[in-house]
Structures are given as structure tokens and as C-alpha cells.
């Protein structure tokens, strides 16, 4: 079939909609004249296996460009049992996949493009350029256009990945049942079955229509089950019918990022290029618009990457999160959306061409509670960092009146320690033993206090070594907590934890020097720039980790606060809060339950802290630096066994 020496100008891997639309755009511009073109697909594309739909203004170029493959257009819409609405100056259009495939075959025959029915095993590149591998043979070319389905990896902790699966019947009824100019976008009068399910009806005459059962869910719909549900719906709505064709399919609905091709002359197309709208599964018009842009840049090297606006990615993820965690909310959300907005407004929003003001006006009319819960689930880390940023700014403003700043810090510090600071470290007995079992408590307390006393002895006998040990395991523990939050490797977690700890000390050089002098008797000299942590900013931006970006902002701002306030913001507002979320989420317990379980050791910690400060020389001094030293020693002794308990806790769930 192919020889090793054979090469082409352009190789298209896959012959679906994205390839077809790009070929049509290039052909209109005569950009493939005298080019050697190869189209590879494992399917012969001889049947109508999909139906593509899109909406457009009546004067949009897409209607003119695709006139030869558009099978039908509708001017009226019905949604969720509401009365029919006219699409003002818009149409909803349908393209059958077979019409598209046949159009490309006609073009290929005319332009002498080569089409081969083969599966492509690998697409890659080397110093000589891009290539594709077919049956063990390498085919070289100037550019590969790759439209294979993306290889979805395991979703990250904050990713949402659903499937839009469907089963459709092209039916002919025994009597007129349809209005050919009106289509039904979403009819929710079908069993939801723990998902979001609806029926989609596209009439092409008074007696013919595509009737499709669609599911948004974590699991793909079983084809046999879908057909049973579809048959029951059709029988109830239209009576006996003749089934002319069937189509089945599945579209990914995902917030996951797709990997780049890795070579400037390997261009990803279609789903592989991220052109599927995550919250709806619509892609055809995006593929058309991308193809037009790609054709305009065809002779240029840069790949015309598709970039979704951040706020729309945010909206998509919220809705996907609701459909995943609360699928019963899908029906009321979509019904409310179409009840309060015109179809044109909804389409403009889905096209991501609506102004922010109008978007907000639309969103506030939807049910609030499921969206607020979704924000809490998927964006709690960002909200948390924004809250800490707010308090950091408050303390900076209060710095104009130091007494107010000190009073505010004392009040919030005590509240923070009482609510999560100490409680998050006072449930180690639950983490270690699984429950509050009196029979196990003596052994646990003995081991716990033994570790703490060992470290206290180290501090007493070898203060410099004790200080070094404290800094090392604190950096490890802080980094591990953030690594669990943001799914980092152990190496990055340690590097981050160490950089944060050194930053807090180095940007408060005078205070940290005084405390370290009191702790170890050794002098300390380290002064760091308040902007040093922004070295991490490019990584945070590349990974689109908004919580990390906000954390970098408030940590940098905290360098202008007193050390104890800056450390308190980090320890309570960041580290303890994250640890608290890890414990409650992984133990699947409420915050109230965990806090109650922490009370015995939580109260004990306050007693020990009071005793420590009372009996330590200068522990009850009004000079903050005098009691900061014993506070840090107390904290180190108390946290030493906690660090190991949390490490085992994280390891147990990571390896589960």
C-alpha cells in the first residue's frame, strides 16, 4: 500500500467532521492545488453514523459555505414543554454525516486526493519532520492534521469528566405528527435514572424525524436500554412507526486539558483540539470557525490554537460539576434557562459571544443553590486564597494603627486556632485508630506524648539541632499539605514548602533573627525580596492554578506584616484550613463531627499552651518576641507527632 520512501504534502488522520470542514475551507481558497493529499481513516464512511447540528444568523457565511451539505433548517424551537418560539433572524441547521462524507469523496475524486481505509497506529515527529505510522510503515509529510479521538487520561482531583451519550432513531410515522419548521431541543419528560436525560426531535417532514434520547452522565447509556426507553417514548408520543435508520454515539464533556501535539507541523483537529463545548457537547460550528481561521493561516507555521475564555471555562466546569454530583438539578436548570431567556440569547451565550453584563443577568435568574455548591466543590481553594488575601489587606490597612492591628490579630488568631488551627491537629487519634476508642487511647497518648517529649528534650539539650529539625519537617509538612491539595509530586511539594518557610523568615529578617537567637542562641542573617515567591508564578499560570496564584499574592503582601501575623495567616488560613478539608473529605465526615471529636485533645492543647507560656521564662511577657520563642517550641513539640500522623493518613488514602 505504502512504501517507506513515499511522502505527502499533507496527511489527514481521520475523515470525520473536523477534517471535512478543514478540507472544504482549504479547497475554497485553492490552497491544496497541486498538493499531494492523503486521508486516512479506519472506517469507510459509507453510512450516516452521526447528525451534526448548529445555529446561525441567516446571513452568516457558514450557511452559504455548507449549503451543499445542509439537509434541513428549522426556524421554530420548542424546549422542555414550553410553547414554541420563533428564532428571530436565526436558523437551526442539520448536516448528516453521510452528506458530508460524500461531499468530501466527490472533492477527493476531482482533486486527486488519496483516501485509504486504514487505522493509524502512531503520529509523531523527528528531526526530519512529522510522520504517521500505518501497518508498521512510516509515511512522511510536511504537516499532519490529526483528528483522532483524544486519549483521555485519569481526571485530576478537580477535573470533571462526563459523557454525552445518545441513541437516535430516524422514524416515519403512520400519520402526520410533526411541524417541519419546528424542532424540539430538550424534552425532559423521560425517566432521569440518576442522570440528566432528555429527548431531542428533529423533523424533516410531517411524517419523518430523528428522535434521539440523550444522557449527560458519568456512565454511558446502554444502547439496548436506550432503545427500550426510546421505543416507549415514541410509542406514547407518535404511535406505531417505521424505523428507517439508527445512530448511536458518545461525546466527551470534560474540563480536562488536552495535551499539545508536540510539533509545530502536527495540528490537532476537532475534539483533539478542544473544540467540543464541555457543557453541551456542541462542536460543529466551532470546528467550522476554527477551520476558517486555520485556512487563513495555512501558509504560516504557528498552529491556530483554540483558546476558550477563562470565564466560560469556569461556567462550563460549574455546570459539569452539577451534572456529575447533582444530576437531578440538570432538568430544572435547563428548563429555567429557556423559560427566562430567548433562544437567541441562549445560543449567543453558548457561542461565548455574550457580554459579561448580559451573562450575569442570565446567570442570576438560574437556581442559585446548585451553582454555589459547585463553586464550593471545585473552586473552594481559590475562594479560600481570596479570603486570606482579603484579611492580609485588612491587616496592612490596620498597620496604620499598630494597636488595632495587634488587637485584630489577637482576636482572629485565637478564633482561628480554636476553630481549625488546633482542632486540625487534635484528631490524630481518629486518623491513627479510626475512632475514639477508650481502650486504645492510653497507648496512643503515651506514644504521642513520648514523641513530643523527645523533641522537647532535643530543644533543651541541642537547641540548634532542634531548630534545624523543626524547620526541615515543617517545610516537608507544609509542602505535603499543599501537594495533596494541588496534586503535586513529592519533590515539588518539598521545594514549595521550603521556599514558603524560608520566605516567611527571610522577609521578616529582624524578627526571625531575634526569635532564632532566643531559641538557639545562634545569630541569623537572611534577607529575601518580598517578590521572591513570584518565581513560582509562571508555573502557576501555566497550570491555570488560580488558588496558587492568589496564594502567591497574599504571601508576598504578608511580607509587610509582622512575622507572627504573616505566619498566622499561613498556618491558620492556609495550612490548617487545607488540612481540615482533607480530613473531613477523606473521612467523609462533617466539620461539626470532626470538631467534636477533636475536643479532648484540643482542650488539652490549650491547657498545655497556657502552662508552657506561664512556666517558660518570659513566656507571659507583653513583648511579643519574648513569648514567640516559647510558642514556636511548643508548636514544634505538639506538631512533631502530628506530622507523622498526617503523613500516614495521606499515604493510606493515596495508596487505597
**E strand or H helix that includes residue 206:** none
d(CA 247, CA 358): 37
Where do we find the cell 508564578? 537
> Into which CATH architecture does domain 161-253 fall?
2-Layer Sandwich (3.30)
CA distances from 636 to 322, 548, 568, 652 (A): 42, 26, 15, 24
What does the DSSP assignment read for 145-203?
EE-SPP------TT--EEEEEEEEEEEEESS----TTEEEEEE--S--TTSEEEEEEEE
User: C-alpha cell of 116?
Assistant: 485509504
From 98, 112, 121, select the one nearest 42 (Cα to Cα).
Answer: 121
pLDDT above 80 (res 188):
yes
Q: What is the pLDDT of residues 329-374, one digit of tens each?
A: 999 999 999 999 999 999 999 999 999 999 999 999 999 999 998 8
| Burial status of residue 324 (CB atoms within 10 A of its CB: 0-12, 13-18, 19 or more) | buried
Is pLDDT larger for residue 443 or for residue 623? 443
The DSSP-derived string for 581-620 is HHHHHHHT--HHHHHHHHHHHHHHHHHHHHHHHHHSTTTT
Q: Which residue has the higher pLDDT, 587 or 93?
A: 93
Nearest alpha-carbon partner for 471 in 645, 639, 606: 639
Mean pLDDT of the residues in the chain = 88
CB 91 within 8 A of CB 77: no
Residue 492 has pLDDT above 80, yes or no: yes
pLDDT score recorded for residue 612:
66
Nearest partner of 648 among 441, 466, 430, judged by Cα: 430
Strand partners, 212: 168, 200
| Per-residue pLDDT, 622 | 52
Choice between 487 and 232, residue whose per-residue pLDDT is larger: 232
pLDDT at 3: 47
Residue with the bigger pLDDT between 291 and 604: it is: 291
Asked if the model's pLDDT at residue 436 lies above 80, the reply is no
- Answer yes or no: are the C-beta atoms of 261 and 273 closer than 8 Å: no
Contact (Cβ atoms closer than 8 angstroms) between residue 370 and residue 333: yes
For residue 606, what pLDDT is reported?
79
Q: Which fold has domain 7-67+91-150+258-303?
A: FAD/NAD(P)-binding domain (3.50.50)
- Checking if the pLDDT of 529 tops 90, the result is no
| 37-41, 291-295, 304-308: range with lowest mean pLDDT | 304-308
Q: Which of 579, 542, 540 is nearest to 556 (CA)?
A: 540
DSSP code of residue 273: G
- Using one digit for the tens of pLDDT, what is the confidence trace for 362-400? 999 999 999 998 888 888 899 999 999 999 999 999 999
pLDDT value of position 75: 94
* Per-residue pLDDT tens digits for 201-210: 999 999 999 9
Q: Hey, where are the domains in the chain? A: 7-67+91-150+258-303, 161-253, 312-375, 379-654
Q: Is the pLDDT of residue 653 over 80?
A: no
| d(C-alpha 410, C-alpha 562), whole Å | 12
Phi, psi of 236 (to 5 degrees): -70, -40
Tens of pLDDT, residues 1-20: 544 456 899 999 999 999 99
CA distance 298 to 295: 5
**Segment 245-289, tens digit of pLDDT:** 999 989 999 888 787 777 888 999 999 988 999 999 999 999 999
Average pLDDT over residues 115-133: 89
What pLDDT digit, counting tens, does each position of 566-577 carry?
A: 999 999 999 999
pLDDT above 90 covers a percentage of the chain that reads 55
pLDDT at residue number 616: 58
* Residue 123 φ/ψ, nearest 5 degrees: -120, 130
Amino acid at each position: 500500500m505504502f512504501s517507506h520512501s513515499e511522502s505527502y504534502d499533507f496527511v489527514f488522520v481521520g475523515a470525520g467532521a473536523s477534517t471535512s470542514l478543514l478540507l472544504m475551507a482549504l479547497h475554497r481558497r485553492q490552497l491544496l492545488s497541486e498538493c499531494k493529499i492523503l486521508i486516512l481513516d479506519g472506517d469507510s464512511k459509507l453510512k450516516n453514523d452521526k447528525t451534526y447540528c448548529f445555529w446561525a444568523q441567516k446571513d452568516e457565511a457558514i450557511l452559504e459555505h455548507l449549503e451543499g451539505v445542509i439537509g434541513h433548517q428549522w426556524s421554530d424551537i420548542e424546549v422542555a414543554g414550553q410553547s414554541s418560539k420563533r428564532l428571530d433572524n436565526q436558523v437551526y441547521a442539520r448536516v448528516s454525516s453521510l452528506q458530508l462524507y460524500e461531499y468530501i469523496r466527490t472533492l477527493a475524486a476531482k482533486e486527486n486526493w488519496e483516501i485509504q481505509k486504514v487505522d493509524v497506529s502512531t503520529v509523531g515527529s523527528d528531526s526530519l519532520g512529522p510522520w504517521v505510522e500505518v501497518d508498521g510503515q512510516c509515511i512522511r509529510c510536511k504537516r499532519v492534521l490529526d483528528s483522532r479521538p483524544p486519549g483521555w487520561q485519569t481526571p485530576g482531583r478537580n477535573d470533571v469528566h462526563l459523557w454525552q451519550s445518545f441513541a437516535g432513531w430516524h422514524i416515519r410515522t403512520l400519520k402526520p405528527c410533526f411541524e417541519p419548521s419546528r424542532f424540539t431541543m430538550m424534552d425532559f419528560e423521560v425517566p432521569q435514572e440518576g442522570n440528566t436525560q432528555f429527548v431531542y426531535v428533529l423533523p424533516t417532514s410531517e411524517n419523518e424525524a430523528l428522535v434521539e434520547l440523550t444522557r449527560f452522565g458519568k456512565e454511558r447509556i446502554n444502547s439496548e436500554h436506550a432503545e427500550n426507553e426510546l421505543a416507549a417514548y415514541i410509542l406514547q408520543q407518535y404511535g406505531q412507526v417505521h424505523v428507517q435508520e439508527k445512530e448511536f454515539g458518545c461525546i466527551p464533556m470534560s474540563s480536562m486539558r488536552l495535551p499539545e501535539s508536540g510539533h509545530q507541523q502536527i495540528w490537532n483537529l476537532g475534539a483533539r483540539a478542544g473544540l467540543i463545548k464541555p457543557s453541551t457537547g456542541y462542536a460543529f460550528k466551532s470546528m467550522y470557525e476554527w477551520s476558517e481561521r486555520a485556512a487563513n493561516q495555512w501558509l504560516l507555521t504557528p498552529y491556530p490554537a483554540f483558546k476558550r475564555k477563562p470565564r466560560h471555562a469556569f461556567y462550563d466546569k460549574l455546570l459539569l460539576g452539577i451534572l456529575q454530583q447533582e444530576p437531578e438539578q440538570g432538568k430544572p436548570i435547563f428548563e429555567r434557562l429557556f423559560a427566562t431567556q430567548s433562544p437567541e440569547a441562549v445560543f449567543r451565550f453558548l457561542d461565548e459571544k455574550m457580554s459579561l453584563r448580559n451573562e450575569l443577568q442570565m446567570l442570576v435568574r438560574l437556581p442559585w443553590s446548585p451553582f454555589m455548591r459547585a463553586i464550593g466543590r471545585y473552586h473552594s481553594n481559590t475562594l479560600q486564597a481570596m479570603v486570606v488575601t482579603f484579611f492580609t489587606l485588612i491587616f496592612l490597612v490596620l498597620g496604620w494603627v499598630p494597636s488595632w492591628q495587634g488587637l485584630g490579630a489577637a482576636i482572629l488568631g485565637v478564633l482561628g486556632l480554636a476553630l481549625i488551627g488546633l482542632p486540625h491537629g487534635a484528631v490524630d487519634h481518629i486518623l491513627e485508630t479510626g475512632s475514639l476508642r477508650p481502650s486504645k487511647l492510653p497507648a496512643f497518648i503515651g506514644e504521642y506524648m513520648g514523641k513530643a517529649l523527645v523533641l522537647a528534650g532535643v530543644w533543651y539539650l541541642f537547641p540548634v539541632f532542634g531548630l534545624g529539625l523543626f524547620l526541615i519537617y515543617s517545610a516537608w509538612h507544609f509542602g505535603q499539605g499543599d501537594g495533596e491539595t494541588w496534586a503535586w509530586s513529592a519533590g515539588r511539594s518539598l521545594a514549595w514548602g521550603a521556599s514558603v518557610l524560608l520566605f516567611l523568615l527571610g522577609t521578616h529578617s529582624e524578627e526571625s533573627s531575634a526569635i532564632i537567637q532566643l531559641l538557639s542562641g545562634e545569630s541569623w542573617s537572611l534577607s529575601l525580596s518580598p517578590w521572591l515567591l513570584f518565581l513560582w508564578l509562571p508555573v502557576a499560570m501555566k497550570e491555570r492554578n488560580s488558588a496558587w496564584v492568589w496564594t502567591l499574592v497574599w504571601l508576598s503582601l504578608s511580607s509587610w506584616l509582622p512575622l507572627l501575623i504573616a505566619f498566622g495567616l499561613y498556618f491558620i488560613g492556609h495550612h490548617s484550613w487545607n488540612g481540615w478539608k482533607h480530613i473531613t473529605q477523606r473521612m467523609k465526615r462533617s466539620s461539626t463531627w470532626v470538631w467534636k471529636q477533636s475536643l479532648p485533645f484540643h482542650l488539652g492543647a490549650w491547657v498545655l499552651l497556657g502552662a508552657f507560656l506561664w512556666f517558660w521564662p518570659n513566656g507571659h511577657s507583653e513583648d511579643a518576641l519574648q513569648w514567640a520563642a516559647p510558642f514556636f517550641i511548643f508548636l514544634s513539640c505538639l506538631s512533631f507527632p502530628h506530622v507523622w500522623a498526617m503523613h500516614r493518613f495521606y499515604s493510606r488514602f493515596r495508596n487505597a
